[in-house]
Amino acid sequence: MNKFVIAVYVDNKFGVLTRVTSMFTRRGFNIDALTVGETECPEYSRITICLSGDGYAREQLINQLRKLHNVKKVVVLKDDSIKRELMLIKVGYDSQTRAEILAASDVYRGKVIDYTTDEMCIEVTGDPSKIDAFIKLMIPYGIIEMCRTGIVALDRGNVTLLDRIKDKTK
């Protein structure tokens, strides 16, 4: 099973996300991560989906997505795409572990965004593997709570959204 990331450009209209995600449910696909947001063109939204599967499953999924009415373009992002994720993690500490957690946060370019006498909330942004490594490092200190955004990604190069959508080959 390989992980792959798909960018789905859709009309920025009510109910489109529901139609796209219900297609995954009907076809039995599991979404690993999903992010949605308006693009630089307000009439379009971009759904970035991270999935696991083989080549056949990926092609089947892409073909099904292209059949949906409000889908304008489906792009499988290359392995060298720029991928980032944001995580907020709340970790407990005591006087002996405080400095270690802060040092680890600095190494991972984390930012302490909330601080009490016995816990701190750290924001970490970066490649998903960096986020995974930071979580693994924090487990011994006691993770109280955490939340991840899911992957946002862009292909390298200078192709714009409008260039992609104007390409009639979907």
CA–CA separation, 147 and 165 (whole Å): 33
pLDDT at residue 18 tops 90: yes
Q: Which domains does the chain have, with CATH numbers?
A: 2-81+157-166 (3.30.70.260), 82-148 (3.30.70.1150)
In this structure, what token pair is assigned to residue 20?
């796209």
Burial 80-113 (b: 16+ CB within 10 A, else e): ebebebebebbbebeeeeeeebbebbeebebeee
User: Is 60 exceeded by the pLDDT of residue 168?
Assistant: no
8 A C-beta contact, residue 4 and residue 159: no
Digit-coded pLDDT (tens) for 50-101: 988 888 888 988 999 999 999 999 999 988 889 999 999 999 999 999 999 9
| One-letter identity of residue 101 | I
